[in-house]
Structure 1
Amino acid sequence: MMNVKLCSNLLVVFLTHTVSTQNIRLMDDELDPYDWSLYSFECPQECFCPPSFPNALYCDSKELKEIPAIPARIWYLYLQNNHIGTVTGKSFMNATQLKWINLNKNKITSNGIEKGVFSNMKNLLYLFLEDNELEEVPAPLPASLEQLRLARNKITTIPEGAFSNLENLTVLDLHQNTLLDSTLSSNTFQGLNSLMQLNIAQNSLTKMPPALPNNVVQLYLDNNSIEAIPANYFDAMLKLVFLRLNNNKLTDEGLPMNVFNISSLLVLQLSYNALTRIPAISVHLEHLHLDNNKIDNVNGTQMCPVPIPGDYVYERNVPALRYLRLDGNEIKPPIPFDLMLCFRLLQAVVV
């Protein structure tokens, strides 16, 4: 009888524990941060909050004039293609975890950005402000930033020290603004120790920027009015792979001997300039664009970065050039035989 009573008590305890455990699990489930039902009430009515992507907020193409209050859970914020003119801290009071903000194609002016509004976002990695009405680079910016895209604005000013704390920035896009030579000083890009891509194309420069970060891999300077490159300009840029200087005013006199003889450089674009000669290149260069200049002849022996090899050579000992574009000049076919003897890896020559 005692055994039966003991078993009954144990059964009651077991059942009680089971029910309690189930209740705890239900409470935990209700607090699941990825349970969409918890967040539906805090989605701004002007925006779309996808249930499958609770950390994203889509407010793009909604004809918004102001930024709504951004919920605390948001990491990715899409506000492009609206009529937004101001960016204030009030909208981001709770949004302390933001990693990505897209504000492209709005009407934001430099005066419309509240001082420090971006620098308070300590987790921000990507900031897109293309196609707005900015007159200067917004500053200060958070040290966490990895990409800053400011193309197609009206930027003429870069505040002193605007980039000095951006040690994590890898991409800086300033193309199609109104930057002048006087805008850029030797300290402008100081502090950008991780920068890999710099785009200053389609501005109003007549000179090369006075100092660039040594670690840049891709450099875009096309569609300016640059006339010359200083001697030894690229000597410290040991990682430069891609260089674009199309649509400038470069002449033979403006290019010092061996200025492009850069061991890391693989792609060099010099289209639409005023060159009459082919500049000296590195043995490692793979793509060379010289179309639409004033070149009237090609001497393969002079162009070859090494003495023209004999009949029996290993591929690793010959220049790496694979693509050569020379159309739009005054060159007439056929292609010189010594050019082919030098560049034995050529796959395409456009004349």
Structure 2
Amino acid sequence: MKTIANIVLGFLILETVAAAPTVQPVNYDSDTYDVTLEDLDNLYNYENGPSDQKEIETVPVIPSGNRELPTPPPEEPEEEEESTPKLIDGSSPQGPEFPVIIIPQTNEDLPACLLCSCVSTTVYCDDQELDAVPPLPKQTAYFYSRFNKIKKINKDDFANLRDLKRIDLTSNFISEIDEDAFRTLPRLRELVLRDNKIRQLPELPPTLTFIDISSNRLGGKGIKQEAFKDMEDLHHLYITDNNLDHIPLPLPQNLQALHLQNNNILEMHEDTFCNVKNLTYIRKALEDIRLDGNPINLSKTPQAYMCLPRLPVGSLI
């Protein structure tokens, strides 16, 4: 019985082995590798593949031995942009022989537009610790240099500035002004020298319409005789706080405001404002006269202002 069981078991084992798949041996020779590499190359060929694949950059391998790096091609020098030098007034120099501008280190020699603010034809130099008038652009029409330390006005400070219309040098330390500092300015209309130490007023151009020389040290001889006679367009004349002992005559016919307060004026003549030879004369323009703060009694000379539209301001006692 045991023998029959072993025979049956042997047949079952033979049938199972016969039904199993046959495993082929793998050939690893060089021919198989060549074929496989070609297939892989064809498989990873991206020429006709998706467009979003990045191209692999081929980098040459430096052989061992003398490792000399390849010499890069020389770079072409970049062309520098030509820059045309500009003058202070914005114009361009002409010709190849234009000199190089060397800027000095002293404040008084620096161009105004480097020290101050230049807006169109106006130069603002307020509160810049200046001790002299800086070189100004030729087209300057309005010049402000208030609250500085300027001590003297030279004849060359405003030379050749033919468009200059207003000069304001309020609150400096000016004690001296050259005689020709303002006289040659053909378009000067307004001159403000308030709050300085001026003892002698130079000759002024007849084109002025506004003068303010208040709070200086003119005294009795600081204003020349007939200094304002030819100024036909002068409208405002302010000479307060100067220790004047007289009213500077003659006064222009178109004068509208005359401020002489806080001086040392003692008397007034009958022809100071009016014409005693023509009792019908009326001076309509002069409506603002300030004589307060002077040791003068206006009630003693009533004929002196009978031609005026308004009485002067001052003491009547």
Band of TM-score, shorter chain: 0.5 to 0.7
- Shift in Å, 1:188: 1.3
Of residues 287, 296, 315, the one that matches 1:322 is: 287
Corresponding position of 1:189: 158
Deviation string for 1:86-117 (max 9, x for gaps)?
A: xxxxxxxxxxxxxxxxxxxxxxxxxxxxxx89
Aligned-partner Cα distance in 1 for 2:314–2:86? 51
Paired residues of 2:123 and 2:140 also in contact (CA < 8 A): yes
Corresponding position of 1:19: none
Corresponding position of 2:169: 200
Corresponding position of 2:81: none
| Residues 1:223 and 2:187 are matched in the alignment | no
Aligned-partner Cα distance in 1 for 2:112–2:200? 33
Aligned-partner Cα distance in 2 for 1:266–1:345? 16
| Residues 1:146 and 2:111 are matched in the alignment | no
- Shift in Å, 1:278: 1.3
Q: Which runs of 5+ in 2 are unaligned?
A: 1-84, 92-105
Aligned-partner Cα distance in 2 for 1:193–1:204? 26
Residues matched between the structures, number: 212
Deviation string for 1:38-88 (max 9, x for gaps)?
A: xxxxxxxxxxxxxxxxxxxxxxxxxxxxxxxxxxxxxxxxxxxxxxxxxxx
Secondary structure in 1 aligned to 2:258?
strand
Report the AA paired with residue 328 of structure 1.
G
Residue 117 to residue 141, structure 1, CA distance change in 2 (3 Å): farther
Coordinate RMSD, CA, aligned: 3.3
Report the AA paired with residue 200 of structure 2.
A
Corresponding position of 1:289: 259
Residue 307 to residue 283, structure 1, CA distance change in 2 (3 Å): farther
Deviation string for 1:284-339 (max 9, x for gaps)?
A: 2111000000112322x1413644521x45x5xx3632110011111235373212
| Residues 1:238 and 2:202 are matched in the alignment | no
Deviation string for 1:181-239 (max 9, x for gaps)?
A: 2xx32211112111111011211111234412231111001111111224xx12xx232
Residue 276 to residue 324, structure 1, CA distance change in 2 (3 Å): same
Paired residues of 2:241 and 2:262 also in contact (CA < 8 A): yes
Residue 137 to residue 349, structure 1, CA distance change in 2 (3 Å): farther
Aligned-partner Cα distance in 2 for 1:140–1:224? 22
Aligned-partner Cα distance in 2 for 1:289–1:240? 16
Aligned-partner Cα distance in 1 for 2:288–2:214? 16
Identity %: 20
| Residues 1:177 and 2:145 are matched in the alignment | no
Q: Which runs of 5+ in 1 are unaligned?
A: 1-115, 123-133
Paired residues of 1:151 and 1:174 also in contact (CA < 8 A): yes
Paired residues of 2:273 and 2:305 also in contact (CA < 8 A): no
Aligned-partner Cα distance in 1 for 2:219–2:170? 19
Aligned-partner Cα distance in 2 for 1:140–1:330? 44
User: What TM-score, normalized to structure 1?
Assistant: 0.53
Aligned-partner Cα distance in 1 for 2:119–2:208? 24
Q: Which has the larger radius of gyration?
A: 2
Aligned-partner Cα distance in 1 for 2:214–2:189? 17
Paired residues of 1:276 and 1:296 also in contact (CA < 8 A): yes
